[in-house]
Amino acid sequence: MQNRERRTNMKVSIDESSCIGCGLCTGTAPEVFELSGSVASVIAQPTAANEAAAREALEACPVDAIHED
């Protein structure tokens, strides 16, 4: 397999009304999450290369604002 950027089945979204802007997800998976102001958003769905980091962020979010769709 040479395509490291292939998509995974993982799709994430952020409940912006719950997010407290702690920056944990953006620090853990900066290719997937970005802070704009005090709220994080998904800038790109996870790839095979960063799915593990995205899942780690999902599980670590202190307010469970990251959801797998």
Residues at the contact surface with ligand SF4, assessed by CB under 6 A: 14, 19-25, 33, 40, 61-63, 65-66
Q: Using the minimum distance from each CB to ligand SF4, give the nearer residue, 6 or 50.
A: 50
Least distance in angstroms from the C-beta of 39 to ligand SF4: 7
Smallest distance, ligand SF4 to C-beta of residue 24, A: 4
Cα separation, 64 vs 46, whole angstroms: 18
Name 66's bridge partners: 14
Alpha-carbon span 27 to 67, nearest angstrom: 17
SS3 25: helix
CB of 47 to ligand SF4, least distance (A): 19
